């Protein structure tokens, strides 16, 4: 970039998220350990956006392909948000200096748009999951711990809307005794997500031999770094939480 | 046969892609059938309670009626829920005002739901400080070329208002006109 020379080395420069498209797991792992170190990101804003975006991309993918709701990634999301607004300020400042908006600033803005898209996508996938499993989530205290505060409020409001609609449209026509919603004899309306679904995943760290089947005698698999598997979600749920695998 | 009405409701929903008219009558029939089915069930439970454990025919009879009640209820709720999902989907895909076109096929509680749902999504978007309904697809360009299909009045852009007359083509910021493209009022020229 030609305008880079105008900056001192100390001022934060714009960094391109798209250049981080190459998906080397080792880079991701490195990036992640760095991200944890720079929780207060202000010290090194210019180096960490690429890495934060890498991680965000991985988290969004995990969320999209896992059948169950994963914990809300408060830290990463807030880091990205603050970085994006910082970068946007920088681009705004640069634009004020120059008369015409240059192609460079347009590219930067587009890149920021794309990062915002990633965030939106993440929020949307989670909202869709919450809506689809609303009865399960509102019944299980465990499941509702995975939500952020805003999502918790959303879930509660949504549940109220649905309940309200059901009782107004249909349940009010029934005798009092069978108006209950959640459990109906042997039929559980609040069934959780299907954890037996098959998912594709890539191993990020060497984990060694692990039995992925639920039976005692099932074969153990040797999971090495970079292996790609198609397995039942249940088998790798723990590994996913420990960030030893990522979903594809 | 038991639960015929209820399965008809679901069948109708399955056959359509668009939101079909709300069947208030159908739901009423299902509710009436549930009441009908409950009568023999309660009669068995009350008058033959002592014999249920010993005489299998009473237990089986009660079970059949009760299961039919459950199935009816489940079908009716599934009908309502799937309609709500469709309404939500339109809300996300086409924006708040386009979803109002569905009004004639919606029941009053459904319209109320849509209104409240709009508020809900709006509130959540505000909390996270991002318009969640924008950019359903990953953005490709900052500015895009569009051709106007139907008159959309004028949109306000950074450089002033632009009048969108049918047949004209414009080069505009994507975020300003995205909702119009999704409503089909503008064509995106690729």
Q: Where along chain A do its domains lie?
A: 2-133, 136-188, 198-247
DSSP state of B82: H
Topology of domain A198-247 in CATH is Ribosomal Protein L9; domain 1 (3.40.5)
User: CB contacts < 8 Å between A and B, how many?
Assistant: 97
Query: Are the CB atoms for A236 and A245 separated by under 8 Å?
Result: yes
Out of B34, B84, B139, name the one closest to residue A165 (CB).
Answer: B84
Question: What is the number of other CB atoms lying within 10 angstroms of the CB of residue A50?
Answer: 18
Out of A116, A173, A178, name the one closest to residue B130 (CB).
Answer: A116
Residues 6+ apart with CB under 8 A from A47: A15
Q: How confident is the model at residue B41 (pLDDT cuts 50, 70, 90)?
A: confident
Q: Where are the alpha helices (DSSP H) in B16-55?
A: 24-47
* Set of chain A residues whose Cβ sits within 8 Å of the Cβ of B3: none
Q: Where are the alpha helices (DSSP H) in chain A?
A: 25-37, 45-65, 74-97, 103-132, 134-139, 141-144, 149-169, 233-241
Per CATH, the number for A2-133 is 1.20.58
Least confident residue range of A113-117, B23-27, B32-36, B132-136:
B132-136
CA distance B65 to B71: 10
| CB environment B87-125: b (16+ within 10 A), e (fewer) | bbebbbebbbebbbebeebbbebbeebbebbbebbeebb
List per-residue pLDDT tens for chain A, 248 residues long.
334 444 444 444 444 443 444 444 455 555 555 555 444 444 444 557 788 888 888 999 999 998 888 888 888 888 888 888 888 888 888 877 776 667 788 888 888 888 888 888 999 999 999 888 888 888 887 877 888 888 889 999 998 998 888 888 888 887 776 666 655 555 566 677 888 888 998 888 887 777 776 655 566 777 788 888 888 888 888 888 888 888 88
Is residue A214 packed enough to be buried (19+ CB in 10 Å), middle (13-18) or exposed (0-12)? exposed
Out of A114, A165, A170, name the one closest to residue B31 (CB).
Answer: A170
DSSP state of B171: E
Largest CA-CA distance found in chain B, in angstroms, rounded: 84
Q: Is B132 within 8 Å of A123 when comparing Cβ atoms?
A: yes
CA distance B30 to B77: 11
Least confident residue range of A196-210, B39-53, B108-122:
B39-53
Whether residue B156 has pLDDT greater than 70? yes
DSSP state of A70: P
| Closest residue of chain A to B89, computed from CA coordinates | A128
Bridge partners, residue B162, by sequence: B155
Residues 6+ apart with CB under 8 A from A197: A67, A232, A233
| Closest residue of chain B to A174, computed from CA coordinates | B31
Residues 6+ apart with CB under 8 A from B178: B134, B135
**Amino acid A140: pLDDT:** 80
Query: Are the CB atoms for B89 and B104 separated by under 8 Å?
Result: no
Q: A246: helix, coil or strand?
A: strand
**Which of B73, B107, B121, B136 to mutate: most A Cβ within 10 Å?**
B73
Q: How confident is the model at residue B98 (pLDDT cuts 50, 70, 90)?
A: low
Q: Is B132 within 8 Å of A158 when comparing Cβ atoms?
A: no
Q: Is A117 within 8 Å of B27 when comparing Cβ atoms?
A: no
Q: Is B88 within 8 Å of A131 when comparing Cβ atoms?
A: yes
* Set of chain A residues whose Cβ sits within 8 Å of the Cβ of B135: 113, 116-117, 120
Taking Cα atoms as reference points, which of B134, B83, B136 lies closest to residue B111? B83
- The answer for A169, left when phi > 0, alpha when psi is -120 to 50, beta otherwise, is alpha
Q: Which two three-digit tokens encode residue A207? A: 């984990």
CA distance B189 to A124: 27
* Set of chain A residues whose Cβ sits within 8 Å of the Cβ of B113: 161, 164-165
Q: Is A175 within 8 Å of B38 when comparing Cβ atoms?
A: yes
Q: Which two three-digit tokens encode residue B158? A: 């950074």
Domains of chain B: 4-128 (1.20.58.1030), 143-189 (3.40.5.60)
Q: Is A170 within 8 Å of B76 when comparing Cβ atoms?
A: yes
């Amino acid at each position: 970039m030609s305008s880079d020379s105008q900056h001192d080395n100390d001022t934060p420069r714009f960094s391109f998220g798209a250049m981080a498209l190459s998906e080397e797991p080792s880079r991701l792992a490195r990036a992640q350990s760095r991200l944890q170190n720079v929780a207060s990101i202000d010290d090194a804003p210019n180096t960490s956006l690429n890495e934060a975006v890498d991680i965000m991309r991985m988290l969004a993918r995990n969320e999209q392909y896992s059948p169950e709701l994963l914990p809300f990634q408060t830290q990463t999301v807030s880091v990205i948000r603050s970085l994006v607004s910082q970068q946007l300020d920088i681009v705004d400042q640069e634009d004020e200096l120059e008369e015409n908006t240059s192609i460079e600033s347009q590219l930067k803005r587009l890149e920021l748009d794309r990062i915002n898209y990633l965030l939106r996508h993440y929020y949307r996938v989670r909202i869709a999951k919450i809506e689809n499993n609303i009865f399960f989530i509102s019944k299980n205290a465990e499941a509702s711990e995975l939500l952020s505060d805003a999502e918790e409020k959303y879930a509660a409001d949504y549940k109220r809307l649905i309940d309200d609609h059901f009782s107004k449209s249909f349940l009010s026509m029934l005798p009092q005794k069978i108006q209950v919603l959640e459990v109906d004899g042997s039929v559980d309306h609040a069934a959780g997500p299907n954890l037996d679904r098959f998912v594709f995943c890539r191993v990020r760290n060497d984990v060694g031999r692990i039995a992925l089947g639920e039976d005692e005698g099932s074969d153990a698999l040797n999971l090495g770094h970079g292996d790609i598997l198609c397995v039942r979600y249940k088998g790798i749920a723990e590994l996913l939480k420990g960030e030893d695998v990522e979903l594809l | 046969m038991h639960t015929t009405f209820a399965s008809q409701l679901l069948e109708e929903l399955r056959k359509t892609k668009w939101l079909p008219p709300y069947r208030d009558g159908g739901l009423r029939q299902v509710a009436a059938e549930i009441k009908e089915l409950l009568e023999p069930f309660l009669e068995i439970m009350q008058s033959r309670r002592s014999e249920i454990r010993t005489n299998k025919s009473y237990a089986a009879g009660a079970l059949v009626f009760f299961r039919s009640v459950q199935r009816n209820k489940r079908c009716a709720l599934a009908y309502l829920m799937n309609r709500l999902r469709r309404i939500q989907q339109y809300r996300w895909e086409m924006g708040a005002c386009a979803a109002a076109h569905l009004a004639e096929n919606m029941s009053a509680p459904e319209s109320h739901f849509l209104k409240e749902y709009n508020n809900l999504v709006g509130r959540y978007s505000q909390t996270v400080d991002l318009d969640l309904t924008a950019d359903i697809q990953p953005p490709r360009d900052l500015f895009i070329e569009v051709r106007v299909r139907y008159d959309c009045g004028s949109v306000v852009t950074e450089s002033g208002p632009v009048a969108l007359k049918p047949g004209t083509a414009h080069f505009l910021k994507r975020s300003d006109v995205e909702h119009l493209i999704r409503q089909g009022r503008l064509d995106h020229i690729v």
